[in-house]
A and B are shown apart, each in its own frame.
Chain A
């Protein structure tokens, strides 16, 4: 049966055109009301609606990005299924993710306090195949609103990212469409860097996919089945 995750994170190589296709699972996490869903909607569907209602029955939003002439990326943006909001996410949510956006509301200090907890939680639940943390970008959302004084000095967030293992941060606004693309691009380039690196390793093992099936370097792992 068709399974859209069949070639998750995998590299499909077309020898004739030298073009590469990737599928990345990206987690979008953070406290309630930090604009996670709005961010996704803006980025994927170019829409903003302040009275947004959770879409029932959807695991992720898919965005196809032509990264460069020879690289096509399918981004799966996994929202916290609205209601796993008490931090009680299943492993299924984290499984096979290669990048994360951790959101907070830059107009308030409260949701920022939880950012560290989200990052720590993320790092314990999922890693890259080589055991390193998956790239995470800090999203200071709702920058269309007056910023909280804590975030007025950008070096504060620079230091914070440095100290807590974020690859970078952006002030964003899903409402005014500020830095949405930039945030996504930063994350994609970081993930690409990591995946290309580990992709080489996988070639050594005669293994083309780097999804959960082959996290171990065991050739027999190819006989994984999806029903």
Chain B
């Protein structure tokens, strides 16, 4: 017999995406009783890290959901911003991916519900699908060779096995699928080493569950070419760089110095030499930055547009510089095993502080009186709860008010080589433009792929409405699509998947229930500032007088009830 849930919780959370997980953990941490469910059989919702077979399944499932085809929108100019209604019309005809086999029992369980005067039962339908235009493609050959050939091949291989180098054995779909060490992110991120997420992980002591690797280089695509150069980020790099002239080196060095100065004296930013409201590019020109330097500072270091006001750009630069040199060459960290570890680290702490976890479960209905949800129904159980937090995709569409939707185009590329020089240490690359494209390369060195495999992510705000149309041009710059010859030193692509992910600001997206809080899907950002901000704001509304994620004590700081002397502490 499966154990049941308890009859009452302070907070019920549906979805184990990052924002919901932070809220759940923050509440559990200060002693609230939390029940945390997810209809999926994995943690993290869109914030998860998949194995390759999981990712392939996920992609195929979404292709199926969309009716088996992935035709781009009829070529008409697509608006970047759409309304929910138009965006998700097709959902109605398709079963949601989150259909729970319990839904069919809802009639039975709802009839058993205990109601007090004025209470009503409402079924909880599954929510909207945020993923569209999914297009997985495998570029690997001999996926299903004839059995005879296979046998023959194995025999031959066995003879050669001594000499055969791992590198030369071609990757096949089969081979990728049987590897276990994967952590491919649907929503990849980097962490500024002094950014909001790192600060939160350290202050809450959730960092004890995670380890990171620094991103070792920032690349830049030289304008008008496919050539990638290493962006010099440190004094040493600038000194050794072969692209910049001696004068350029001096200008850049002085500029980095100034940025460092800004960190110590933030007052300098205000009234920045009279340029504060002027476009940043004007400021750079006035300081004698050559086109190459302008390109590097704008696109790779500040990561802003040329028209960004100087003051705002300087804030971005400050962020970059203050995170530099803490762990590695660049200001950025990437989690070992993938970004999906981060929501799980929060969930683990939530559980350690008494939170109850159950995957493959969601709510089937709610019992409400007027605009207050009094209890939820899970299977045959009615559970009282004071507040309900749901990720957008777990809220019935009927409860949502129309909102502007932003569509993010995303791509995952799996390759047997790095985009440059086969260095496995992690890279960040930004393609400028009206819709800048971010590219993050990770590899087996971060334990997210089998040895020899690189995973490259790209994303941007969608401008055509279709991820493939948005991102294919840069994919062509980075990869060799033709099989066979390794032209231009570009790595060979093994597998790719394009997809669009919708996002929307979910603050007050529903006004039906006053104790229902909806968390937003991932937005287009590099670090986690928006998600943390949102989680904190929900927590502050729920529990205005409580501390948000105070530091969790380490093992040796806890005295276990009933023990006199802990010998382990003495030995420490």
Q: Interface residues, chain A, CB within 8 Å of chain B?
A: 1-5, 32, 45, 47, 49, 54-64, 74, 81-86, 88, 90-93, 95, 110, 124, 127, 212-213, 215-216, 218, 220-221, 223-227
CA distance A64 to B555 in the complex (A): 14
**Could you say which residues of chain B place their CB within 8 Å of the CB of A54?**
354
Does B560 contact A92, Cβ atoms closer than 8 Å? no
- Given A58-B560, A91-B341, A92-B345, the answer on whether A83 and B555 have CB atoms closer than 8 Å is no
Does A81 contact B562, Cβ atoms closer than 8 Å? no
Stretch from B120-128, B461-469, B563-571 at the A interface: B563-571
**Which of B336, B353, B356, B562 makes the CB contact (< 8 A) with A212?**
B336
- Given A2-B554, A4-B554, A62-B555, the answer on whether A83 and B356 have CB atoms closer than 8 Å is yes
Does A83 contact B348, Cβ atoms closer than 8 Å? no
B533-572 CB mask vs A (1 if < 8 Å, else 0) is 0000000000000000000111110101111000110010
Near A by CB (< 8 A), chain B positions 318-354 give: 327-328, 333, 336-337, 341, 344-345, 347-348, 351-354
- Which 3 A/B pairs are nearest by Cβ-Cβ distance? A81-B351, A90-B344, A86-B358
CA distance A4 to B187 in the complex (A): 30
Contact sample, A vs B, 16 pairs, CB 8 Å cutoff: A3-B207, A45-B560, A74-B568, A84-B351, A86-B357, A86-B361, A90-B347, A92-B210, A92-B341, A92-B348, A212-B211, A213-B336, A216-B451, A220-B425, A223-B213, A224-B212
B387 located at the interface, meaning its Cβ lies under 8 Å from any Cβ of chain A in the complex = no
**Which of A49, A57, A227 makes the CB contact (< 8 A) with B553?**
A57
CA distance A83 to B353 in the complex (A): 9
B258 located at the interface, meaning its Cβ lies under 8 Å from any Cβ of chain A in the complex = no
Kindly provide the distance from the CB of A22 to the nearest chain B CB, expressed in whole angstroms: 14
**Which of B209, B447, B555, B567 makes the CB contact (< 8 A) with A92?**
B209
- Tell me what chain A mostly uses at the interface: helix, strand, loop, or mixed: loop
B118 located at the interface, meaning its Cβ lies under 8 Å from any Cβ of chain A in the complex = no
Does B211 contact A88, Cβ atoms closer than 8 Å? no
Does A59 contact B352, Cβ atoms closer than 8 Å? yes
Does A226 contact B351, Cβ atoms closer than 8 Å? no
B3 located at the interface, meaning its Cβ lies under 8 Å from any Cβ of chain A in the complex = yes
**Could you say which residues of chain B place their CB within 8 Å of the CB of A4?**
208, 554-556
CA distance A32 to B3 in the complex (A): 8
Does B560 contact A227, Cβ atoms closer than 8 Å? no
**Could you say which residues of chain B place their CB within 8 Å of the CB of A3?**
207-208
CA distance A82 to B356 in the complex (A): 8
Near A by CB (< 8 A), chain B positions 388-425 give: 424-425
**Could you say which residues of chain B place their CB within 8 Å of the CB of A62?**
555-556, 568
Which chain B residue shows the least CB distance to A86? B358
**Could you say which residues of chain A place their CB within 8 Å of the CB of B361?**
86
CA distance A220 to B423 in the complex (A): 11
Near A by CB (< 8 A), chain B positions 141-194 give: 180-181, 193
Kindly provide the distance from the CB of A7 to the nearest chain B CB, expressed in whole angstroms: 12
B359 located at the interface, meaning its Cβ lies under 8 Å from any Cβ of chain A in the complex = yes
B196 located at the interface, meaning its Cβ lies under 8 Å from any Cβ of chain A in the complex = no
**Could you say which residues of chain A place their CB within 8 Å of the CB of B571?**
64
**Which of B207, B337, B345, B351 makes the CB contact (< 8 A) with A83?**
B351
**Which of B337, B356, B562 makes the CB contact (< 8 A) with A49?**
B562
CA distance A45 to B351 in the complex (A): 23
